[in-house]
């Protein structure tokens, strides 16, 4: 599926860990220096009260930053766990997600086309996994979302092979001006892939990040 998702959770967690380690090292160094300074101060010329107070303020600031990083790490961990639990809970459900690639199965592949205005003529170009144009269709759209289903017939009339197909859609309104048409795909979630930075849903041979999902519903006999 032509959906691109970036994840900052893993990199953020790693950055937080490195920052915490650096702060902890600086914190220990600060304590060592302060203790050494107190032990070796001249009794006849003790450490200035204001200077000592400033050092204690720095000490408290570093300690607070360490605690903040620990809290942030806990939040990131909880967020990642929640995302994984959500993904697993979608297995067997029918989801709709932003995307332009669908799988042709039993001579049927469907996309949801959303138009922002009425009386739009949409040209749908369908390409196979190699990028070859296999069919071009014209669809009349009104404002809202409509389902476009391709029967697998190619331009030459032959049946396309089962597999993944991608659409590009261009719309023109009644005045001949360009009109934006967005695409979504719908399918049943077969599983979840945890091998990457974020869990992604598996719909047949397609992969869908959770961030792309726009709708979830119970799977019925007609949608499975």
- Domain positions in the chain are 9-89, 94-217
pLDDT in tens, the chain (224 residues): 444 333 444 444 445 455 555 545 566 666 676 677 667 666 656 656 566 667 666 766 766 776 776 666 666 555 555 567 778 888 989 989 999 999 999 999 999 999 999 999 999 999 999 999 999 999 999 999 999 999 999 999 999 999 999 999 999 999 999 999 999 998 899 998 888 878 889 988 888 888 888 888 888 765 55
Q: In whole angstroms, what is the distance from residue 189 CA to residue 83 CA? A: 15
Tell me the Ramachandran region of residue 73: left when phi exceeds 0, alpha when psi lies from -120 to 50, beta otherwise: alpha
* Secondary structure letter of residue 6 according to DSSP: -
**Using DSSP, how many helices (H) and how many strands (E) does the chain show?**
2, 13
> What is the per-residue pLDDT for 1?
43
- Residues contacting residue 205 through CB under 8 Å, at least 6 positions apart: 103, 163, 164
pTM over 0.85: no
> What is the per-residue pLDDT for 197?
79
CA angle 55/60/62 to nearest 5° reads: 95
Topology classification of domain 94-217 = Immunoglobulin-like (2.60.40)
- DSSP per-residue string spanning 137-152: EEEEE-SEEEEEEE-S
Tokens of 136: 């071009």
> What is the per-residue pLDDT for 10?
45
127 close to 164: Cβ distance less than 8 angstroms = no
Tokens of 13: 């967690």
> What is the per-residue pLDDT for 8?
40
Beta strands, E only, the chain: 94-98, 101-104, 109-115, 120-127, 133-141, 144-150, 163-172, 178-179, 181-188, 191-193, 200-203, 206-209, 213-217
């Amino acid at each position: 599926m032509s959906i691109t998702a970036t994840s900052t959770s893993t990199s953020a967690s790693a950055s937080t860990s490195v920052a915490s380690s650096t702060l902890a090292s600086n914190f220990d160094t600060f304590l060592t220096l302060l203790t050494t300074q107190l032990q070796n101060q001249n009794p006849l010329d003790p450490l200035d009260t204001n200077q000592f107070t400033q050092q204690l303020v720095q000490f408290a600031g570093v300690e607070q930053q360490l605690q903040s990083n620990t809290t942030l790490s806990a939040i990131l961990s909880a967020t990642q766990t929640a995302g994984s639990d959500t993904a697993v809970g979608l297995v067997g459900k029918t989801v709709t997600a932003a995307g332009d690639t669908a799988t042709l199965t039993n001579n049927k592949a469907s996309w949801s086309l959303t138009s922002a205005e009425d009386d739009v003529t949409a040209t749908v170009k369908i390409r196979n996994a190699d990028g070859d144009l296999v069919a071009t269709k014209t669809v009349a759209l009104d404002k809202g979302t409509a389902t476009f289903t391709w029967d697998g017939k190619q331009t030459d009339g032959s049946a396309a092979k089962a597999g993944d197909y991608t659409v590009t859609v261009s719309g023109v309104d009644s005045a001949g001006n360009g009109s934006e048409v967005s695409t979504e795909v719908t399918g049943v979630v077969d599983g979840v892939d945890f091998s990457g930075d974020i869990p992604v849903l598996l719909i047949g041979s397609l992969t869908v990040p959770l961030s792309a999902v726009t709708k979830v519903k119970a799977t019925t006999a007609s949608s499975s």
